[in-house]
Amino acid sequence: MNFDTRKYVIISFFVITGLMYGIKLFYMQVVDTETWKLEAQRIAERRIEVTPPRAVVFDRNGNKVIENKTYYNLMMIEEEMVDFDTVAFGKLIGMTKDEVLARIEEIKEGEGRYFNPHTKEYQTNYQRIRPYPFLKELTADEIARIAPQLDNFKGFYEEVTSMRNYPYKSGANILGYLAEVTQPEIDKDPFYKPAYKIGRAGIERFYEKEFRGKKGVKYIVTSARQNTVGSFEDGKYDTTAVQSKGIVLGLDIDLQAYGEKLMQNKKGCIVAIEPATGEILTMVSAPTYDPNLLVGRKNINEHYPKLVEDENKPLFPRPLASEYMPGSTFKPIQALIGMQEGVVQANTGFPCNKSVVGCHNHPHPGSVTQAVQYSCNPYFYALTRRIIQQGKHKSSFKDSEVGIDIWAEYMHSFGLGRKLETDITGLRAGNIPDSKYYDHWRGKGQWKFSAIQSISIGQGEVQLTPLQMANVAAIMANRGWFYTPHFVKSIDGGGPRKEYTVKNRTMVDEKHFPPVVEGMRRCVHEPGGTASRARIPGIVTCGKTGTVENFKLVNGRLIKKPNHSVFIAFAPMDNPKIAIAVFVENTGGGGGTWAAPIASLVIEKYLNGEVKSVEKEKRILDAKLSLWE
């Protein structure tokens, strides 16, 4: 090849190369501008997700019951940690060099490992380019001391975060608490990153997605030294984080605080519902705790183990998960079923035959109303026997099997023996026995009413939660229907969930309720009634007491313990505003002794805004019933 030929080859090479670069540059700058922007963005900016504060929560009266308090995290990106002086950094944050290095290793180990199918090896989830919280939950004063020096430590920056605050220090079992997300939760939902918080209990857990809002994104342009120099494209591609507008509860936080005060030094619970809406006005679980004790990682690490180990179980949501025998508070339902089934009429009477089942002294009830008023055990034994054994089969065993299933179906229509789909976690269903239940425990064809008679007075195998008892009171107030009890009144101004606007009707016709309701009124206001301590001047209250026997298994033997005190009620009698259930453990007294006066104080506080029954209140506040074991 001669010189001229080589010259043209070299020139052609440079021309072609120049054309290729020119075409590529033209394509990137003119034709494919979006791809170029994205590539430039990848190289020159940092994508920061902006998480909004969790929703603020208000009670029915506009009082703020959950708010956010600003804290800070000190974030670390290892890829950017150039010339990291561990000694100087340790002095800044109050750590030794070894502690700084140990914290970095702790972060790496905390990310866990995964199996890489390509390399056939386990690899770490930790990524050097990702931000991780080096220090969490710093106060404004703490971050103010550190932040001015962060320019000397590349790869570290402050991040604004928030934690919950509970101004009233009440309603811990309702509101719940937050804790850091786990790796499986991060893997499951891309919303979460390390150090994010998630609802662990109460409404914080149930309404997690509504509480957390919608994340935004901010693109930050960085220099070669990884310093922030501005926003990318003047914020053209940024999106704004959206906080939930707010959640309003049906809860009355002042009533909640008052109920918790009444239940100090006692074990048990109070549940109150607005009958017309199903909104839960208060739900006290005693003993309780200040919800602020479980705010943030430091507090959780310090206080959660103590709460778990407390023998009085303050973390246990008694109104939702305790299954108690309801005692005589169960009798109004038995009366309603008996009348609906036609086995008794409103004016049916039975003698108070104490040889059948024990009872206190009172006149023979000549009607359903008097039976409820006097809480006559033999009466409800006879009534329930007629429900269970209606003579539909010659065999009393088969007859009882059919009858108990009819009875159980009625009970289910009252929301019993099934979980009430309330907007909170931790609920239990209680127990309404049917033929399958007794067949399992006693054998097919081996039982009849005489073997299960204790269910007639709310004992034995019948188990209800206090929430269910309060809902029964709401059903009595509404004369046969209820909305599923719930906490949230409105989300972003849109009302409650649709399922809480559906009216549930029992299998008992409305016409059968008046004689039972009148009996509940007499129970409180007339001689011979068992709930005279529930009287409130100027308010007609309808209620029913219950005394629940309390047995515990000790070394293989059933030992009789002090009775529980139970009371359900609603008020006023006409156009009811509140339905309530109170359960006090280990009192040794009947429902009228402790539970009834507690209920009356809550009713008075709610309806009148104040309590004038000073002596009654003092008696309850001074009582230390939790000492009775």
User: Which two structure tokens, joined as six digits, stand for 615?
Assistant: 């002596």
Contact 249/262 with Cβ under 8 angstroms?
Answer: no
Q: Note down the domain range covering 438.
A: 253-627
pLDDT in tens, 569-624: 999 999 999 999 999 998 887 888 999 999 999 999 999 999 998 999 999 999 88
In a domain? residue 24: no
Does the pLDDT of residue 348 top 90, yes or no?
yes
Distance CA 549, CA 560 (A): 8
In a domain? residue 242: no
State the pLDDT at residue 190: 86
User: What is the DSSP-derived secondary structure letter of residue 502?
Assistant: P
Residues 337, 444: one domain? Answer: yes
State the pLDDT at residue 245: 80
Look over the chain and give the mean of its residue pLDDT values, rounded to a whole number.
Answer: 86
DSSP run (H or E) holding 64: strand 64-76
Strand-pair partners of 504: 482
In a domain? residue 126: yes
pLDDT classification of 125: cutoffs 50, 70, 90? confident
Residues 286, 151: one domain? Answer: no
Does the pLDDT of residue 252 top 60, yes or no?
yes
State the pLDDT at residue 27: 57
Number of domains in the chain: 2
Residue at a domain's end among 102, 135, 162: 162
In a domain? residue 12: no
Residues 143, 258: one domain? Answer: no
Q: Which has the higher per-residue pLDDT, 43 or 483?
A: 483
Distance CA 67, CA 198 (A): 15
Among 43-47, 147-151, 361-365, which is the least confidently predicted range? 43-47
3-state secondary structure of 178: strand
State the pLDDT at residue 44: 43
Does the pLDDT of residue 325 top 80, yes or no?
yes
- Tally the C-alpha atoms within 13 A of residue 545's C-alpha that lie toward its C-beta: 33
Please state the three-class secondary structure of 109-164 as a single string: HHCCEEEECCCCEEEECCCCCCCEEEEEEECHHHHHHHHHHHHHCCCEEEEEEEEE
Q: What share of the chain is helix, strand, coil (3-state, %, to 5)?
A: 40, 20, 35
pLDDT classification of 41: cutoffs 50, 70, 90? very low
Residue at a domain's end among 162, 177, 194: 162
In a domain? residue 355: yes
In a domain? residue 122: yes
Please state the three-class secondary structure of 163-202 as a single string: EEECCCCCCHHHHCCEEECCHHHHHHCCCCCCCCEEECCH
pLDDT classification of 43: cutoffs 50, 70, 90? very low
Residues 398, 274: one domain? Answer: yes
Distance CA 156, CA 74 (A): 7
State the pLDDT at residue 354: 84
Among 2-16, 264-278, 534-548, which is the least confidently predicted range? 2-16
User: Which two structure tokens, joined as six digits, stand for 286?
Assistant: 């005693």
* pTM score, whole prediction: 0.83
Distance CA 413, CA 323 (A): 18
User: What is the CATH number for 385?
Assistant: 3.40.710.10
Contact 574/602 with Cβ under 8 angstroms?
Answer: no
Residue at a domain's end among 162, 191, 210: 162
- Tally the C-alpha atoms within 13 A of residue 390's C-alpha that lie toward its C-beta: 16
